Structure 1
Amino acid sequence: HKPFLVIADHLTKAGIAVLRFDDRGTAKSGGTFAGATIDDFSTDVASAFEYLNTRDEINQQKIGLIGHSEGGVTAPLFAARQPDVAFVVLLAGLGVDGTTLWAEQQRDMAVAYGLPNGEAIYQAMRVFAEQVIAGESPQAIEQDLLSKGYDKATAQQYLKVVANEWGRSFLTYQPEEVLPKLTMPVLALNGEKDLQVAAATNIGGMEAIFASSENEDVTLKILPDLNHLFQQAESGLPDEYGRINQTFAPQALLIISDWISSRVGE
Structure 2
Amino acid sequence: MKSILIIFLACLGLLNHAFAQNQEENIVLKQPKGVLDGTLLLPQNTKKKIPVVLIIAGSGPTDRNGNSMLNIKANSYQFLAEGFANNGIASLRYDKRGVGKSMGAMMKESDLTFETYIQDAEQWIDTLKKSNRFSKIIILGHSEGSLIGMVVAQRLTVDGYISVAGPARGIDDIIIEQTEKQILPDSVKNEVKRDFSVLKSGQKLPKLMQVFFIFSLFRPSIQPYMISWLKYVPSEEIKKVKAKALIIQGTTDIQVAENEAKLLAEANPKAKLLILAGMNHTLKDAPMDREENLKTYSNPDLPLSKGLVEGIVEFV
Normalised to the residue count of structure 2, the TM-score between the two structures is 0.65
Spell out the pairing of 1:111-260 with structure 2 (5 A cutoff): 125-133=192-200, 134-137=203-206, 140-143=207-210, 152-160=211-219, 163-200=222-259, 202-211=260-269, 216=270, 218-234=271-287, 235-236=289-290, 239-242=294-297, 246-260=302-316
- 3-state SS of paired residue (1:164): helix
Counterpart residue type for residue 173 of structure 1? Y
Distance in 2 separating the partners of 1:120 and 1:67 = 36
- Structure 2 gaps of 5+ residues are 1-73
**Structure with greater proportional helix content:** 1
- Deviates most, 62-71 or 124-133: 124-133
- 3-state SS of paired residue (1:18): strand
Contact 1:162 1:168 (8 Å CA) reproduced:
no
Distance in 2 separating the partners of 1:68 and 1:227 = 12
Distance in 2 separating the partners of 1:78 and 1:168 = 19
Instruction: Kindly provide the CA deviation profile for residues 16-49 of structure 1, in whole angstroms up to 9, marking residues without a partner as x.
Output: 0111111123333363353322222111111111
Counterpart residue type for residue 224 of structure 1? A
Displacement of 1:71 = 0.6
In structure 2, the CA distance between the partners of 1:5 and 1:120, relative to structure 1 (3 Å rule), is: farther
Which residue of the partner structure matches residue 27 of structure 1? 100
In structure 2, the CA distance between the partners of 1:193 and 1:182, relative to structure 1 (3 Å rule), is: same
Counterpart residue type for residue 129 of structure 1? F
Displacement of 1:198 = 1.9
Pick from 114, 117, 120: which aligns with 1:41?
Answer: 117
In structure 2, the CA distance between the partners of 1:253 and 1:124, relative to structure 1 (3 Å rule), is: farther
Contact 1:107 1:122 (8 Å CA) reproduced:
yes
Pick from 156, 161, 168: which aligns with 1:88?
Answer: 161
Which residue of the partner structure matches residue 52 of structure 1? 128
Instruction: Calculate the aligned-residue CA RMSD, in Å.
Output: 2.9
- Give the percent of matched residue pairs that are identical in Structure 1 and Structure 2: 21
Contact 1:102 1:171 (8 Å CA) reproduced:
no
Normalised to the residue count of structure 1, the TM-score between the two structures is 0.76
Contact 2:204 2:224 (8 Å CA) reproduced:
no
- Structure 1 gaps of 5+ residues are 144-151, 261-266
More RCO (CA 8 Å, sep 6+): 1
Which residue of the partner structure matches residue 147 of structure 1? none
Contact 1:90 1:187 (8 Å CA) reproduced:
yes
Distance in 2 separating the partners of 1:80 and 1:135 = 28
Displacement of 1:122 = 7.2
**Structure with greater proportional strand content:** 2
Distance in 2 separating the partners of 1:161 and 1:254 = 44
